[in-house]
């Protein structure tokens, strides 16, 4: 056993000590505000059995918002009015009286625009690109008020959703009391939380908390997971979530006692001074290996875990996940469980893509890397074992929806285990589903797409198209989505490079029954504004100047190069925000917005001609030149990437088998 443990930790350390993985120290995080005390009753990573509250927790139907969310929304909508005023007045719409409109709708929640922001998956690439957008949208950050400013958009937003790498960003912000991106990125005097120059597989050295080396770091993680094993099943996602926590949560040992549901107890959330956070995961039913487009999509929010899809159509109270909810209720003489929704585990669930490794041709990969057959065979055997035992997913046991089948369409009502994986594995790599639900009444979604769809790791609209295709299936419950063209059209018409609006004309939607017009989608793809931000999803570390450059590139996308690409950008953003509200109120679109909609609305034109190697040119101008092969040559660094990936999988797999 000691030999196996040493082998596993050595393998992970080998990944950590690549040339770009410089050692760093993480000292007291001066600018990242501490959270409240850990919420897990065990005080650590493991859940604990507790007495149930007087009102027993239960599963509810997905036929509306929870009472908790509805109550929170009443506070949030009031708090968005003044930030919205700032965003709209900046636009200088000469033919629209911003003040009069806002003042007359102060007591009319449906009259004012509800804004959602969706941050796609894509590993650190998605985190950094999304961070650039949120930094530009955050009024707490320094802003020059230029033609491209979108400052205050975050404060004016109601919802903020993320999955996979985008979920890391959302989770990290809310884990640290909704700290700003610059505070987590830079801090003061070397106090930054985000130190991506040191691989997640090595771990940080922490002043004042206890010096760590890689073996010690992984030993602590193993101990945490083993403590959970005393009463609950564990998988690779437990290790993954604990490792992520050290990089994303500003607390000793990555805050093992912090829970996702405890976000609801934080003052900033109770005051509704930040958007409502949502993370997204896909269900992977037992026995299935590939996640289909009609899979059940689950969301995590501070109050609940559940799905709007008819295959579940229910929500469970997140704080009591892992309690026995057979048939939707806990028995009167039953006990409750708390602490299962550990913050890192939830973030890790949304990015649990270990099963993606099973889609690779292992033999071909080994040959490409020049690995000896004995190593290739060992990796293949480990992955096959994990696949057969279904340990490559996140296990939620007992399944809170056991016996729950209000629609007679459930696919997991008879399963003791709820199996969740990366939220982008059904190709819906932008977390749009929670935001297009009619009950949430979102008017516009800023969809930040950092997907790696092309061979050079740029997006091509596949995520949007997947959401549109799903809207045509029965699982969508008649939830509409704007038409989206093919990937080739995205590339040929530069929709994969430029911001684009989808669903501009509400009259184009055919409505019947309770079907409603979907939100306007403002698609903002990852593109080379000021640096080549098309880094690999699996790269484990980034030099600080590179991660800073990618965040800055995302900020340039958000502001269109501070208005140098489009001097009317701030105006066009304001026009898009107000579009649905004007339509609902029967107000004609101001003439000052016409040129914006002419430029940014997709008009239905298609071009499905085949596309060669996609290498977009710089939009603003290169301000940081990458030196890593992956960044300079697109996929020239694939060999190193796959090598790191296999080393990671091998190390974690061996750890799991201990």
pLDDT of residue 369: 53
Q: What percent of the chain has pLDDT over 70?
A: 81
Of the two residues 27 and 297, the one the predictor is more confident about is 297
Which residues share a beta bridge with 137?
Answer: none
- CB within 8 Å of 358: residues ≥ 6 apart: 289, 383, 387, 392
Instruction: Please spell the DSSP secondary structure of 93-123, one letter per residue.
Output: -TT--HHHHHHHTTT-GGGSPPEEEEE---H
Buried b (16+ CB within 10 A) or exposed e, 270-303: eebebbbbbbbbbbbeeeeeebeeebbbbbbbbb
pLDDT tens digits, residue range 462-500? 999 999 999 999 999 889 999 999 999 999 999 999 999
Of 423, 550, 522, 364, nearest in space to 121 by CA: 423
The distance between the two most distant Cα atoms of the chain, rounded to a whole number of Å, is 74
Please calculate the CA angle 139-140-141 and round it to the nearest 5 degrees.
90
Distance CA(448)–CA(420), nearest Å, equals 23
Residue 355 pLDDT > 80: no
> Token pair of 140, please?
């707490």
Q: What is the total residue count of the chain?
A: 658
> Token pair of 324, please?
């026995």
Asked if 444 contacts 576 with a C-beta cutoff of 8 angstroms, the reply is yes
pLDDT of residue 392: 74
pLDDT tens digits, residue range 412-461? 999 999 999 999 999 999 999 999 999 999 999 999 999 999 999 999 99
- What is the Cα Rg of the chain in Å? 24
pLDDT of residue 181: 96
pLDDT tens digits, residue range 330-340? 998 889 999 99
- The pTM of this model reads 0.90
pLDDT tens digits, residue range 60-77? 999 999 999 999 999 999
Of 619, 45, 13, nearest in space to 342 by CA: 45
pLDDT tens digits, residue range 117-165? 999 999 999 999 999 999 999 999 987 667 899 999 999 999 999 999 9
Distance CA(328)–CA(312), nearest Å, equals 12
Distance CA(528)–CA(545), nearest Å, equals 16
Asked if 587 contacts 174 with a C-beta cutoff of 8 angstroms, the reply is no
pLDDT of residue 624: 77
pLDDT of residue 33: 57
Which residues share a beta bridge with 379?
Answer: none
pLDDT tens digits, residue range 619-632? 999 887 766 444 43
What domains lie within the chain, and their CATH numbers?
2-486+500-564+602-657 (3.40.1090.10)
Buried b (16+ CB within 10 A) or exposed e, 225-239: bebbeeebebbbbbb
Residue 23 burial (CB count, 10 A): 12
């Amino acid at each position: 056993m000691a030999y196996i443990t040493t082998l596993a930790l050595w393998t992970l350390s080998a990944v950590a000590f690549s040339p770009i993985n410089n050692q760093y120290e993480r000292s007291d995080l001066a600018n990242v505000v501490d959270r409240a005390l850990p919420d897990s009753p065990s005080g650590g990573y493991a859940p604990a059995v507790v007495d149930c509250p007087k009102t027993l927790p239960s599963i509810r139907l997905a036929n509306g918002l929870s009472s908790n969310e509805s109550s929170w929304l009443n506070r949030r909508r009031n708090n968005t009015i003044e930030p919205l005023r700032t965003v709209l007045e900046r636009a200088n719409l000469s033919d629209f009286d911003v003040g009069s409109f806002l003042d007359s709708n102060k007591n009319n929640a449906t009259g004012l625009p509800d804004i959602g922001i969706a941050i796609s998956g894509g590993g650190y690439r998605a985190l950094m690109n999304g961070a650039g957008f949120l930094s530009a949208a955050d009024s707490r950050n320094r802003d020059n008020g230029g033609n491209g400013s979108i400052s205050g958009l975050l404060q004016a937003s109601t919802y903020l959703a993320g999955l996979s790498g985008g979920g890391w960003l959302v989770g990290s912000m809310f884990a640290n009391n909704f700290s700003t991106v610059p505070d987590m990125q830079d801090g003061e005097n070397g106090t930054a939380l985000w130190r991506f120059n040191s691989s997640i597989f090595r771990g940080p050295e922490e002043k004042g908390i206890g010096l760590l080396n890689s073996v010690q770091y992984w030993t602590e993680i193993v101990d945490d997971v083993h403590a959970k094993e005393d009463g609950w099943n564990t998988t690779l996602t437990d290790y993954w979530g604990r490792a992520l926590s050290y990089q994303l949560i500003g607390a000793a040992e990555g805050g093992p006692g912090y829970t996702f549901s405890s976000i609801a107890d934080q003052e900033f959330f109770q005051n509704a001074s930040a958007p409502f956070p949502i993370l997204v995961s896909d269900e992977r039913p037992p026995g299935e290996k590939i996640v289909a487009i009609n899979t059940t999509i689950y969301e995590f929010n501070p109050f609940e875990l559940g799905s709007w899809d008819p295959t579940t159509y229910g929500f469970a109270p997140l704080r009591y996940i892992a309690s026995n909810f057979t048939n939707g209720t806990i028995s009167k003489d039953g006990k409750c469980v708390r602490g299962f929704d550990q913050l890192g585990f939830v973030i890790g669930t949304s990015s649990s893509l270990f099963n993606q490794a099973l889609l690779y041709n292992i033999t071909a990969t080994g040959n490409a890397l020049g690995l000896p057959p004995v190593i290739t065979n060992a990796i293949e055997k480990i992955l096959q074992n994990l696949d057969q035992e279904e340990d490559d997913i996140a296990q939620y046991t007992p399944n809170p929806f056991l016996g729950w089948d209000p629609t007679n369409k459930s696919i997991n009502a008879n399963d003791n285990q709820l199996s969740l994986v990366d939220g982008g594995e059904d190709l819906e790599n932008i977390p749009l589903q929670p935001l297009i639900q009619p009950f949430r009444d979102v008017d516009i979604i800023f969809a930040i797409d950092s997907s790696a769809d092309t061979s050079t790791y740029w997006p091509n609209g596949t995520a949007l198209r997947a959401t549109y295709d799903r809207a045509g299936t029965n699982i969508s419950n008649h939830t509409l989505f704007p038409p989206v063209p093919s990937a080739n059209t995205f590339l040929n018409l530069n929709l994969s490079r430029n911001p684009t609006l989808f669903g501009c004309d509400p009259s184009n939607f055919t409505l019947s029954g309770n079907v409603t017009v979907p939100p306007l989608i403002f698609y903002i793809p990852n593109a080379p504004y000021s640096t080549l931000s098309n880094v690999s999803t699996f790269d484990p570390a980034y030099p600080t100047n590179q991660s800073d450059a990618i965040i800055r590139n995302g900020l340039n996308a958000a502001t269109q190069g501070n208005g140098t690409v489009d001097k009317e950008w701030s105006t066009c953003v304001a026009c898009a925000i107000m579009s649905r509200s004007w339509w609902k109120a029967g107000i004609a679109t101001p003439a000052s917005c016409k040129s914006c909609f002419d430029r940014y609305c997709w008009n239905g034109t298609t071009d499905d001609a085949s596309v060669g190697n996609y290498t977009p040119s710089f939009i603003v101008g290169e301000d940081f030149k990458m030196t890593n092969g992956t960044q300079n040559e697109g996929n020239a660094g694939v060999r190193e990437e796959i090598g790191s990936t296999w080393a990671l999988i091998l190390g974690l797999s061996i750890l799991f088998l201990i």
